[in-house]
Structure 1
């Protein structure tokens, strides 16, 4: 590991007491409660007001003090202790704290929780000035700085030194007649003060260590404070007032014990609230909730309570294995997970299991937990994390020194799901994501919710005497490739709804319900949810209920990031109100409703012109597009005409409707009326849309090419008797719909086409 980051491995626990009989024994008890903060080394230094006594070694506290005589030798009424872990190449006795230094003017013991970010620079400067280091821990730097400034007195030297070191630190210093505590200006590491019944003071990393020795909590040490405890009591000083509290979030997420209180917040309650919020943000249909022992149990219980699911003990932890992400090598971390956790087969077998974990760091534990539960027979495994993605290294005292070690730094949530092995549950994630969108489309007649084998609609809710069901189905075509190129998937769902509902509207029907179908190479829940959000928006615009759909994952047919989209709508119309081609009569006026752009047809030609023939940048903003990018212009969603047009149909003001889709005006307008009629269209009657002008110019298209391919600015055309035109135009304008009188129907001359565009 490079020298610049070797000091990043100092997440530890400290405990100090002054003025209490058997101080070393109390410190032992306090360190035992803090053992979760470090399990590879421990030590205690005590004072009898004359001499400092030390014992330290590698291993757990119980191993370091396996011989009771070692603890008995640490006499006196004051003591400080430390538990730590080491990393590869640094787990040596020289790095085990507290450090003890013997000087001619007095001995000093030092314990440190945290990390100094300027350690390399300071160490090099001190070595150049003659300092000799006995360890490779950044903790030792403080002592050398103090000695450098000692001529100004110990406390002044300490203050000056604390202003020179940068980073996260909670220091305990023990001299023969006093205990001193100091916290960094941001309070990254927790440190609190308690008091025993006899008045003696305790300073420690977590309040749980106060409880074990019977000390009453007094207060937290504040950033920038210097706490001095001697025979006269407790004195509060400051080495800086330039402070801002920023406690490390990992204390609440992972490090601290659930029964500890940090700055007034009980860790258990904080984690439980994380679980509740997780349940609101990521609900899952499952049989039970289990937590990953021990730091995730609180969050799991909060999730279970919020979700109304049973909270079960599906994983058992061996209490004799060190924390896995603190292990020095990846191989040891992987083995440690297997030693540490076991799945309870009788609980999880055949069940849909939600596993709540506190965080994902390297991903070692998460992957093996999923595999373990599957081997134990879990039917489904849903892994949920109670904290945000851990993407950046910590430089203030956590054993994560580079981004290379962090799974979330290099992978999206979807990629992490694949690596961990929970991608089979992506469908359930998608269901969860789209529930609210589906719910927003409800209308009278829609029954149930998503997740059943079929969508349900109660026709009895309709006030129709002789109902005729009208169904339409369509897709979005190669417009999907534009959405893919722009990585924008929240509007093409509107397109697929529009293509269907506008078709059934053209026969006089009111859209009732819609079903979508998405085929993909890889079920990316975020992308699929965006698509369905667009479908739901289209359904809301059309007044149709989204009552079901299907997402088919077919990696052998589609590349991983490819998908296709189609939909089906069912509408209803009174039999007598059904629009047929024999209804429009000669003399009817043709009213054109403005389109929003290309809509969803002709994209093979669009792509040929823009990207194959001319390599146009989607982000380009040609002057002719009036500030729009090319991508925005071509991806503009298809307009849905249901709400402005349907009331006109129900009031019998319209006798024919043409939806202008594939084939343009040339093919679609003649579908509205009989063979004995001709539509005469005045192309100057409505404004030309810039996007069509650009395509015509770039592609060298003729007028006939355009009329046979594009809607040319009209998405729907209505046939209206002359005496009703003003009324229809007025109502369309009130509905915010741009409407143009574009032509009329006449008796068709022999031998002429059904449509003439002038």
Structure 2
């Protein structure tokens, strides 16, 4: 029997329905300062009198059940970076420079040592990308969270000039999709991963599993979410960069469709890159169908750039100079 996200307890269709209802309520609060609708990777709010037409861009997210797996495997030290990096990427694809971050930590029973480890990880993620960690909330909620369990979430705020917002309006038929590698599952699909490797965790077998590179499976599956800010900052004003998508829950297609205008579609070449070994192990162990893999996981591509056809080689050369291989993975039709 094949494993699916739904059988692991996560229903993406139900999530989509909930988001539509939430969006309806949110839209009822919008003022003229809200300059884009809901559905992009961040929310946009124009401040009256802001210099150079600067717009605030904000996003809130969590790490999902990667928290549970990290706690099970004794590897919580990267969860703060997971959260910060995910959040930076979400506003990066809107064109925004991240400026500050607020965190939320919740515990069944507050453990100062655990809170300290998470705070240090959050700070590392922020400092590495010039983001100020300016505050947050730490809550102890016995009865809501079991003892030994915790969760973390955060909100990031950045700025972008109004005329440099990436919202999909520049995407054209014939544009090319370029994929940049992920560092692993990032922060999505962990309910399915946990279901697939559950018996191997209980038996202790998982700690002996290594990838062909020699990297322990445990280390690979907990590798922090890759942040793309440093690679992309210098390209944000490039006239041939028409849009970007951060590949999170819903996979490559659903996330990239968020930046397509009505009437445009994606044509993805799934053979343009090799599915990384970590994902192949998960797929094999769980008998996960290809379609399910592509909807749940990033499958090795963490960021998609949509660029003008005549600039593809220029973008490949730009990344090659820093030792990064990117992939031409499809086009807009």
What range is the shorter-chain TM-score in? 0.7 to 0.9
- Measure how far apart 1:581 and its partner are: 2.1
Q: Which residue of 2 aligns with 1:517?
A: 104
Distance 1:654 1:740 in 2: 15
Q: Which residue of 1 aligns with 2:318?
A: 731
Q: Which residue of 2 aligns with 1:617?
A: 204
Classify 1:510/1:735 alpha carbon distance in 2 versus 1 (closer, same or farther; 3 Å).
farther
Selected match of 2:233 from 620, 623, 646: 646
- Measure how far apart 1:624 and its partner are: 4.2
Distance 2:247 2:51 in 1: 28
Distance 1:654 1:537 in 2: 29
Q: What's the TM-score, normalizing by structure 1? A: 0.36
Distance 1:618 1:669 in 2: 37
Q: Which residue of 1 aligns with 2:125?
A: 538
Selected match of 1:592 from 179, 190, 194: 179
- Measure how far apart 1:513 and its partner are: 0.7
Q: Which residue of 2 aligns with 1:502?
A: 89
- Measure how far apart 1:560 and its partner are: 3.0
The answer to whether 1:476 aligns with 2:63 is yes
Distance 1:612 1:496 in 2: 27
Q: Which residue of 1 aligns with 2:330?
A: 743
Pairs within 5 Å for 1:404-415: none
Q: Which residue of 1 aligns with 2:159?
A: 572
Q: Which residue of 1 aligns with 2:33?
A: none
Distance 2:100 2:323 in 1: 25
Selected match of 1:690 from 277, 281, 306: 277
- Measure how far apart 1:481 and its partner are: 0.8
Distance 1:623 1:493 in 2: 25
- Measure how far apart 1:651 and its partner are: 3.4
Distance 2:259 2:317 in 1: 23
Q: Which residue of 1 aligns with 2:73?
A: 486
Q: Which residue of 2 aligns with 1:139?
A: none
What SS is found at the alignment partner of 1:550?
A: strand
Q: Which residue of 2 aligns with 1:718?
A: 305
Selected match of 2:191 from 604, 608, 623: 604
Report which stretch shifted further, 670-679 or 594-603.
Answer: 670-679
Distance 1:614 1:561 in 2: 18
- Measure how far apart 1:471 and its partner are: 0.4
Does structure 1 conserve the Cα–Cα contact (< 8 Å) formed by 2:197 and 2:206?
A: no
- Measure how far apart 1:723 and its partner are: 2.3
Does structure 2 conserve the Cα–Cα contact (< 8 Å) formed by 1:610 and 1:616?
A: no
- Measure how far apart 1:488 and its partner are: 2.2
- Measure how far apart 1:635 and its partner are: 0.7
Selected match of 1:678 from 261, 265, 278: 265
Q: Which residue of 1 aligns with 2:23?
A: none
The answer to whether 1:668 aligns with 2:285 is no
Selected match of 2:213 from 626, 633, 642: 626
Classify 1:615/1:497 alpha carbon distance in 2 versus 1 (closer, same or farther; 3 Å).
same
Pairs within 5 Å for 1:242-391: none
Distance 2:139 2:164 in 1: 38
Q: Deviations over 1:328-369 (max 9, x none)?
A: xxxxxxxxxxxxxxxxxxxxxxxxxxxxxxxxxxxxxxxxxx
Distance 2:72 2:210 in 1: 22
Pairs within 5 Å for 1:1-400: none
Figure out how many residues of one structure are paired with residues of the other and give that number.
Answer: 286
Does structure 2 conserve the Cα–Cα contact (< 8 Å) formed by 1:655 and 1:720?
A: yes
What SS is found at the alignment partner of 1:669?
A: helix
Distance 1:631 1:613 in 2: 11
Distance 1:616 1:580 in 2: 48
What SS is found at the alignment partner of 2:265?
A: strand
Distance 1:660 1:543 in 2: 23
Q: Which residue of 2 aligns with 1:412?
A: none
Selected match of 2:115 from 528, 532, 536: 528
What SS is found at the alignment partner of 1:491?
A: helix
Larger Rg: 1
What SS is found at the alignment partner of 2:76?
A: coil
Classify 1:614/1:696 alpha carbon distance in 2 versus 1 (closer, same or farther; 3 Å).
farther
Classify 1:614/1:563 alpha carbon distance in 2 versus 1 (closer, same or farther; 3 Å).
closer
Q: Deviations over 1:412-448 (max 9, x none)?
A: xxxxxxxxxxxxxxxxxxxxxxxxxxxxxxxxxxxxx
Classify 1:717/1:464 alpha carbon distance in 2 versus 1 (closer, same or farther; 3 Å).
farther
- Measure how far apart 1:546 and its partner are: 1.1
Structure 2, unpaired ranges of 5+: 1-45
